């Protein structure tokens, strides 16, 4: 049985343009326009998706995005979506819970990169409409109003929400086919792949050795062999310097998702990542911050909780974001060393 396809539109749309496309004003017109934009993108010359019914992943105060998918599929939620490059995107999008995003929906109907870092959604991580951040129920195109937006290069909660953009933007849309209810799974990982995961329970007062021990303990509990180290920078060494890439082995999450095609892709100034490192050894996701210590994986540390020996509020740390790919996975902002307890663990 075929699975559904999903994509980001290669074109961007203002809220006004969506209402015009929907032949009206207000939320109903914007949502009609968004669905029409998806249908037009799917049928456009060069589109890599099959014919079918495509619905925009966008919510209003009268209907949330998940309900819109079900309404277009005889009242039953569809399931199983793949990107146009064949990689699985998500199997099911549950109401009230975080969806298990495999590969972020970072591919357009033409097979290219998204035209913007944000996507219109007004939908949070639980697939619910966000009435306090929806461009005044899609009636506003003002810089003073906001909508929750998705990040197409992100996984976890950030694929659909967690960030707000001003309503004067022109943004693309997520388009999800609703013709099938066929499960999708992740293909088997390469036999020689290196594993990556998040761990918790690390205190920055235990030093770099404590971080490595936390990684080793979680790996052992998960039945993983091999040497695992914490991806942390110090004031004298970068996180990348702690590892020995081969350039021939992939980095893979424990759910089988390939994070980097070859390990050396991760250790670049702008890491080449297919998916975020946001899964722990129990299969749980983190949508939050991750201890890291530097402004990039190849950079020597700056804010490192005194080289991972000080867990007090007086000490500062540079944090990455677990749901992000690329530079954002390792660098975002700085805060006190009491903020989080999550670190990345990579097999060497």
Q: What is the pLDDT of residue 162?
A: 86
Q: Which of 132, 83, 25, 142 is nearest to 275 (CA)?
A: 83
Q: What are phi and psi of 16, to 5 degrees?
A: -65, -45
Tokens of 246: 């081969």
Q: Are 97 and 284 in contact (CB under 8 A)?
A: no
Q: Are 316 and 337 in contact (CB under 8 A)?
A: yes
Tokens of 172: 């693309």
Q: Is the dihedral of CA 316, 158, 18, 128 positive or negative?
A: negative
- The DSSP-derived string for 131-150 is TTSBHHHHT---TT-EEEEE
**Cross-strand partners of 173:** 120
Q: Quick one: how far is CA 248 from the chain centroid?
A: 25
> Distance of CA 116 to CAs 9, 150, 169, 173, Å?
10, 11, 10, 10
Q: What is the pLDDT of residue 74?
A: 87
Q: What is the pLDDT of residue 206?
A: 94
Q: What is the pLDDT of residue 288?
A: 86
CA distance 83 to 89: 6
Q: Are 267 and 245 in contact (CB under 8 A)?
A: yes
Q: What is the pLDDT of residue 268?
A: 96
pTM: 0.95
Task: List the chain pLDDT tens, one digit each, 348 residues.
Answer: 788 999 999 999 999 999 999 998 889 999 999 999 999 999 999 999 999 999 999 999 999 999 999 999 988 889 999 999 999 999 999 998 889 999 999 999 999 999 999 999 999 999 999 999 999 999 999 999 999 999 999 999 999 998 999 999 999 999 999 999 999 999 998 989 999 999 977 899 999 999 999 999 999 999 999 999 999 999 999 999 999 999 999 999 999 999 999 999 999 999 999 999 999 999 888 778 999 999 999 999 999 999 999 999 999 999 999 999 999 999 999 999 998 889 999 999
Tokens of 113: 């990169």
Q: What is the pLDDT of residue 21?
A: 97
Domains belonging to the chain, first-starting first, are: 4-177 (3.10.100.10), 194-347 (3.10.100.10)
């Amino acid at each position: 049985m075929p699975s559904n396809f999903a994509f980001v539109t290669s074109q961007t749309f203002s809220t006004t343009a969506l209402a015009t496309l929907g032949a009206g004003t207000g939320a109903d017109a914007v949502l009609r326009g968004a669905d029409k934009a998806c249908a037009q993108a799917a049928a456009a010359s060069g589109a890599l998706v099959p014919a079918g019914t495509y619905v925009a992943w966008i919510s209003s105060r009268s209907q949330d995005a998940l309900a819109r998918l079900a309404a277009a599929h005889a009242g039953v939620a569809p399931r199983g979506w793949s990107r146009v490059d064949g990689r699985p995107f998500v199997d099911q999008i549950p109401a009230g819970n975080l969806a298990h995003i495999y590969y972020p929906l970072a591919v357009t109907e033409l097979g290219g990169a998204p035209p913007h870092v944000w996507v219109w959604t007004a939908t949070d991580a639980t697939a619910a409409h966000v009435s306090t951040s929806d461009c005044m129920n899609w009636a506003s195109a003002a810089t003073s109003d906001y909508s929750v937006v998705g990040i197409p290069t992100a996984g976890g909660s950030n694929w659909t929400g967690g960030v707000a953009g001003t309503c004067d933007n022109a943004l693309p849309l997520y388009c999800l086919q609703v013709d099938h209810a066929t499960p999708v799974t992740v293909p088997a990982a390469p036999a020689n792949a290196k594993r990556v995961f998040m761990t918790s329970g690390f205190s920055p007062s235990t030093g770099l050795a404590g971080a490595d021990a936390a990684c080793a303990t979680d790996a052992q509990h998960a039945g993983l062999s091999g040497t695992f180290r914490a991806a942390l920078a110090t004031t004298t060494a970068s996180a990348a310097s702690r590892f020995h890439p081969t350039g021939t082995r992939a980095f893979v999450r424990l759910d089988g998702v390939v994070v980097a095609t070859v390990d050396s892709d991760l250790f670049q100034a702008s890491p080449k990542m297919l998916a975020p490192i946001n899964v722990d050894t129990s299969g749980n996701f983190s949508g939050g911050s991750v201890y890291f210590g530097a402004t990039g994986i190849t950079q020597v540390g700056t804010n490192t909780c005194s080289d991972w020996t000080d867990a007090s509020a007086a000490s500062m740390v540079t944090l990455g974001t677990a749901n992000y790919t690329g530079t954002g996975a390792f660098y975002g902002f700085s805060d006190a060393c009491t903020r989080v307890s999550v670190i990345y663990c990579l097999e060497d």
